[in-house]
Chain A
Amino acid sequence: MKMHLDEKIWLILSFGLIMGFMFFTGYQTFVLGMGPPSHMETIDPQNVDNIAPFDEPGVYQVGENEYEVVMTLEIFSFNPGNIEIPAGATVTFIMTSKDVVHGFQVADTNLNAMVMPGHIQKITQTFHEPGEYLVLCNEYCGTGHQHMATTITVK
């Protein structure tokens, strides 16, 4: 198969583009620690309320301006809801679902993770800007899915 010079250039650029995306993804994941939420711990989805830390969901301070939010998701609510934290706080959300598959998304941030029954999911974000952030479920979970929302207030 004979190839024209411009076709070769095009294909090399195409290949380079794909490799470029690969490189940046790998660099961000393995060097900058910005990999997508991929926590590996599991849990009995029918017994969440009795297993630590989910037996006591809530907001916990774990360091200077560092917080952990232990959260359970079930139709159609986030527990705890209406979270308040100070500006500049780094927050790790530790989550699991008590029933079906849910999504945890905070608009205007890069917080976005699937929360599945049987799996514990973790995701971290530093909130620099004060404001009232909208937390919503972005995976269809039933009739009341559109009401599954709460807020994070950063003061």
Chain B
Amino acid sequence: METAVKNFKEKTSNVFGINPQDALLSKSYLLVAFAALLLGGTLGLLQGLNRAGLLELPRWLNYYQVLTAHGLLLVLVLTAFFTIGYFYAGLSHNLGGLLPKVRKMAWIGFTLKMIGFVLAVIPILMNNATVMYTFYPPMAASPIFYFGLVFIVLGVWMCAFGSFIQVANWRKNNKGKHVPILSYFATGVFVLLFFGSIPVTIEVLMIIPWAIGWVETINVMLTRTLFWAFGHTLVNIWYLTAVSAWYVIVPKIIGGRRFSDTLTRVVIILLVIMNIPGGFHHQIIDPGIHESVKFLHVFMSLAIAFPSLMTAYAMFATFERTARKKGGKGLFGWFKKLPWGDVRFLAPMLAMIAFIPGGAGGIVQSTNQLNQVVHNTMWVVGHFHITVGISVVLTFFGICYWLIPYISKRVLTPAMNKLGVATTIIWTVGMSLMAFAMHWVGLLGSPRRTSYTTYMDHATALSWDPYLFFLAIGGTLLMVGVILQVYAVVHMMFFAPKGETEFPIADEEDNATPTPYWTEKWGRIIVIMLIVVAMGYVIPVVDMIVNAPPGSPPFRTW
């Protein structure tokens, strides 16, 4: 009986769309995400103009304060809120509506995160936490900043556990069935989010008593390592979120079928298992980590590229298969059969294309000797403006053009589609110009996280200026993109014509081979993940603790 009710609910949600309470939840998350984009983007423009030597910031607002807020708003708020809003809409659609308990957890998570962000932002605004979003000790911010981080983590955990409960409940009622693919992606993302945030939680709990003054010194190397165990995982959480749309949504939009379901799930499993030790490639030129450990981690990092290369094949195979069915001919002629004028395709497609140089750059810079050439230069900033700024964010933009109409019970008008195409092009051009210039000037030696300076008119530093000028041009185009996108989000949520919009989930091929059931054994996947994390971390972390130098007291250097 219960399953009958359940099935009925699922069918109704498929026919009548999302229930209003679940819609409100996702809308709230998305609104916060795009408010963060507007604010963070504006701060980004200020930095670009400063770095190009065009703008001197007023005394009460220093470059590093702006940079700290830019990072926090875009890499934490925008991405986390979008990811949760998107996947919760997916869970609701996939699994017959959110359980009341789960919905409540997501709201508690929302509240905790908002409290956390307010607590973290106040000291930044007061110039008491100008420590960048990486907050490396022994720089010590106001303790309130770290309390904020604790609340953010607790909020994220609420949402992670909410999704686990939702999925577990569905599995109980659907014994022997595979969890629908988008919910499977959500499970992978929330598993990573939970386990990835444990190291940074330990770090923050080490910092708080030290920042307050109860403890005199801190182990600098250990905190830094714990940070990157989280930091790198976070990057791949956004990436996995974007990938979910590439595998599941994009094929439907171009009128095709999904690539192999087994392969999709294997890619998710591999990304979950191999991700966390990737953090060490941020520490390739650190002291206190042995060369042999660093070499082991070249493998740990490069291994993550493998599932991405699998994805690259799967995506282009799907495109070609679909385009040929529509009569596309020739070696590359079938490209013309793809719906380039549809923003729901164009945005994620350009995002994927950007991941070709983005991923290649990632492979290059995780290789030890090459990393030494570019570490902490503008090259790295260029790298993540391509990967996060285009591959992830442009996919998120593309998702908006069907997700927001879907949750708002409105439709995407042709005019809005055109605006979306324009936004996508402006964004891609702006970000590409900026990221290319950043890579280039980074190779020449220009450092990241440094306000405009000529280093006492040193000839080398002066030769960087023409490249840095592109940061202002790119930044200006991106600001236009931000404004258009935020306008589109608000318009589609509140003003677009009413109607029903589909949640576009592609089907498998008719002759698809069934997916083996071991892909559902999350207990086993998590154990393997923990073993891999242990392989990567136990030796160096024990070394950092046992052979630790005397610790460092807190410093305020701003």
Contact = CB atoms under 8 A, between A and B. Distances in A.
B455 A134 contact: yes
B447 A105 contact: yes
A44 B549 contact: yes
Interface in B372-392: 372-373, 375-377
Interface string B348-382: 00000000000000010001110111011100000
Contacts of B513: 1-2
A116 B313 contact: no
A29 B291 CA distance: 8
A43 B551 CA distance: 10
B287 interface: yes
Interface string A37-61: 1111011111100000000000000
B317 A101 contact: no
B549 A139 contact: no
A130 interface: no
B553 interface: yes
A40 B452 CA distance: 34
B549 A35 contact: no
Interface in A84-114: 99-101, 103, 105, 107-108, 110, 112-114
B450 A119 contact: no
B552 A21 contact: no
Interface string B513-525: 1000000000000
Contacts of B283: 114
B444 A107 contact: yes
B295 interface: yes
A21 B302 contact: yes
Contacts of B289: 38
A35 B445 contact: no
Contacts of A142: 139, 557-558
Contacts of B450: 136, 138, 140, 145-146
A16 B438 CA distance: 30
A83 interface: no
B288 A40 contact: yes
B294 A35 contact: yes
Give the size category of A's interface with B.
Answer: 35 or more
B295 A25 contact: yes
A14 to B, nearest CB: 4
Nearest to B375: A112
Contacts of A139: 136, 376, 449
B452 A146 contact: yes
Given A99-B557, A117-B138, A142-B558, A25 B369 contact: yes
Interface string B264-289: 00000000000000000001111111
A121 B557 contact: no
A21 B67 CA distance: 34
Interface in B416-437: none
Contacts of B549: 42-45, 118-119
B340 to A, nearest CB: 25
A38 B287 contact: yes
Interface string A5-19: 001001100110110
B54 interface: no
Contacts of A101: 136, 138-139, 220, 224
Interface in B135-160: 136, 138-139
A8 to B, nearest CB: 10
B65 to A, nearest CB: 10
Contacts of B372: 36-37, 110, 112-113
B499 to A, nearest CB: 39
A140 B132 contact: yes
B64 interface: yes
B495 interface: no
A136 B448 CA distance: 11
Nearest to A45: B552
B540 to A, nearest CB: 11
A105 B376 contact: yes
A10 B313 contact: yes
Contacts of B294: 29, 35-36, 38
Nearest to A99: B555
B291 A35 contact: yes
A112 B550 contact: no
Contacts of B373: 110, 112
Contacts of A18: 302-303, 305-306, 363
A119 B317 CA distance: 50
Contacts of B555: 99-100
A119 B287 contact: yes
Interface string B429-466: 00000000000000011011111110110111100000
Given A7-B317, A38-B287, 11 more contacts: A2-B513, A18-B363, A25-B295, A34-B369, A36-B372, A42-B549, A107-B460, A113-B287, A116-B224, A138-B376, A147-B453
17 contacts: A1-B262, A14-B306, A26-B295, A37-B285, A37-B287, A40-B547, A42-B549, A107-B460, A110-B369, A114-B375, A115-B287, A138-B375, A139-B136, A142-B139, A146-B451, A146-B452, A147-B453
Please list the 3 inter-chain residue pairs (A to B) with the smallest Cβ-Cβ separation, ordered nearest first: A142-B557, A107-B445, A42-B549
Interface of B: 62, 64, 67, 130, 132, 136, 138-139, 220-221, 224, 260, 262-263, 283-291, 294-295, 298-299, 302-303, 305-306, 309-310, 313, 317, 363, 367-369, 371-373, 375-377, 444-445, 447-453, 455-456, 458-461, 513, 547-553, 555, 557-558
